[in-house]
Amino acid sequence: MKKLFFTPGPSQIYPKLEKFMGKAFKNDIPSISHRSEMFMEIVKDVERELRVLLSIPQTHHIFFLSSSLESMERIIENSVKKTSFHFANSAFAEEFVATARAKKKKTHVYRFLPGERIPVESVVIPSTVELICITQNETSNGSCVPLDDIYTLKKRYPTIPIALDIVSSAPYIATDFNKIDCAFFSVQKGFGLPAGLSILVVNDTMAKKSRKKGYHNFPSLLSKSIKNQTPETPNVLNIYLLGEVVKDMNKKGIEIIRQETDDKAAHIEELGSLFIDNARIRSKTVIVLNAGGKTNEIREKLKEKNIIVGKGYGKYKDAHIRIANFPQHSKEQVRMLVAELKILM
Ligand SMILES: *Cc1c(COP(=O)(O)O)cnc(C)c1O
């Protein structure tokens, strides 16, 4: 029997993915040249659909990279000469910090606890900072930074660009790109696709300002993007599949997807034992439960029913259960999971 994956990436695949995959092979997608008319049409389609789904304005460009860790590194290399600022409460935000340090940048890090809210009204960002990095949805602990708080920060520091990690909250999160300079996500989370593709959204100023040389410098990505191409031979198959998935999501409508995500999250939250108490800073797309040391036992019992959930991250490995609540998870599937967990927790 096939398994049902509630792991926060890679996760359950998009329900129609097999059908899209069949269509891709029928149309020779894995063999076509990335300089062909056909590929350029695919890129044009994906871009158009993504702009509709996520309200990405024409002021922002869409680049295709290989992973979100690559997106972090390219953002740092292309937009920070000396100093970056990071908000961090766990693993993925720390990854952004580590990336900047590996590139010899001076990093200011505001660390806060998973249940805490960032005091955006008073936090001080030094004038030397060239980029503010925020992990909007922290996949490792189920906390999130509310968009309103990020916009408040932008209002206080309008001239410093913000780079937003929305890897595990896209497409649910309704980012206002008039206030966000740059954001990125991977397709193996909320798009239900195989891993190996990250979408980086960058505003025109940031894209053109870069002085980086070599692979995936923003100006080279931009000059190809204008022609609906990429500098390298990209993951053509996954780009095509993303186009099909996003088209399908647009047919349903992002508002419905968001409402369904809220409804499913509310159902999971009824279980109680939530690691993040405060609903304002609790993620709707990755929900983390305190399993009271029973993580392994619960995961094993669920596995017998072909349901796979995530274990805790780092020091919470044996204490947490992480549940992805992505668009590809149906209401019925979530209901089934919750019913099982009610017995086990
Ligand atoms: C998964 C994840 C990443 C890393 O994505 P990759 O595609 O594996 O590079 C980065 N940030 C967050 C918040 C994530 O959940």
Per-residue 3-state assignment (H helix, E strand, C coil) for 295-308:
HHHHHHHHHHCCEE
Q: What is the pLDDT of residues 56-104, one digit of tens each?
A: 999 999 999 999 999 999 999 999 999 999 999 999 999 999 999 999 9
Distance, CA 138 to ligand 1 centroid (Å)? 9
Indicate which atom in ligand 1 lies nearest the CA of residue 140: 15
Share of the chain above pLDDT 90, in %: 99
For the entire predicted model, the pTM comes to: 0.98
Residues whose CB is less than 8 angstroms from the CB of residue 154 and which lie 6 or more positions away in sequence, other chains included: 162, 179, 180
Indicate which atom in ligand 1 lies nearest the CA of residue 198: 7
Indicate which atom in ligand 1 lies nearest the CA of residue 137: 13
Q: Which of 69, 73, 96, 197 to mutate to test the pocket of ligand 1 (most atoms within 8 A of CB)?
A: 69
Nearest to 153 by CA among 123, 188, 108: 123
Rounded CA gap, 92 and 109, in Å?
Answer: 13
Helix, strand or coil for residue 239?
helix
For the segment 272-300, the average pLDDT, to the nearest whole number, is: 97
Rounded CA gap, 133 and 109, in Å?
Answer: 10
What one-letter code names the amino acid at 209? K
Token pair recorded at residue 212: 């980086």
Q: How confident is the model at residue 1 (pLDDT cuts 50, 70, 90)?
A: confident
For the segment 38-65, the average pLDDT, to the nearest whole number, is: 98
Rounded CA gap, 241 and 247, in Å?
Answer: 10
Helix, strand or coil for residue 19?
helix
